[in-house]
Amino acid sequence: MTSKRRTKTEIFTILSWLTPYIFILSFLRHTSVFTFMALLLFCGLSILGCLTGIFLTRLTKYKKGYYLLVTTVSVTLFVISYDQLINTSGRIFYSLHRSTMSEIVTKINKARIENNRILIPQVRFALVDTLKDGTIVFTIDGIPDNCVGIAYSDDNTNPGNTNCGQIVEWRRLDDHWYFWYST
């Protein structure tokens, strides 16, 4: 039984189906909005380029319908699962940075108990701030009136507003930890 080897174009096409998923799970919370949009544009152009290559290649003339169908399914699944992919990306970000964020929360709470003033520690991946109700927010990305981040709330209540505006989504990640969007 002999197996036919895949062409380079076919291999690049298969990889292009996976790249949007990889980019959203790996880079969404680690890059700016503009960089991420450029990566998604690159994914779309990669898929189109690979499909064009397949349609121009004689070696794959019997597989063209298959590749078109799988590409359509891949893009459709990406669009349908986009919100879930964003939620998963937030959970991945949270799990990667939870220990650092927990240390900061501990320092801030300790200073509050001792009635000391401290300089709120800033981290490379987020802007840290405390709200009037005591909620500690880690702003990951955004512009002044539209941000995204993770918050620690002692009483598990939505503060309503952050330093970036009104909270439009407040989603539980773990005990006292929430993912938020503002507008």
Q: What is the pTM of this model?
A: 0.73
Answer with the residue of higher pLDDT: 8 or 159.
159
Q: How far apart are CA 57 and CA 71, in angstroms?
A: 17
pLDDT of residue 1: 47
Amino acid occupying residue 60: T
Encode pLDDT of 39-90 as tens digits: 888 888 888 887 787 777 666 556 777 778 888 888 888 888 888 888 888 8
Q: How far apart are CA 163 and CA 117, in angstroms?
A: 20
Which band of pLDDT confidence, cut at 50, 70 and 90, is reported for residue 19?
confident
pLDDT of residue 81: 87
How buried is 86 (Cβ within 10 angstroms: 0-12 exposed, 13-18 middle, 19+ buried)?
middle
Q: How far apart are CA 88 and CA 29, in angstroms?
A: 11
Domain boundaries of the chain, sorted by first residue? 8-80, 97-182
Encode pLDDT of 93-134 as tens digits: 898 899 999 999 999 988 888 888 888 777 888 889 889 888
Contact 39, 31 (CB under 8 A): yes
Q: How far apart are CA 103 and CA 1, in angstroms?
A: 59
pLDDT of residue 30: 67
Q: Say whether 181 sits in a helix, a strand or coil.
A: strand
pLDDT of residue 47: 83
Has residue 36 got a pLDDT over 50? Answer: yes
Has residue 37 got a pLDDT over 60? Answer: yes
DSSP string covering 25-68: HHHTTTS-HHHHHHHHHHHHHHHHHHHHHHHH-GGGTTTHHHHH
Sign of the dihedral through C-alpha 70, 76, 79, 80: negative
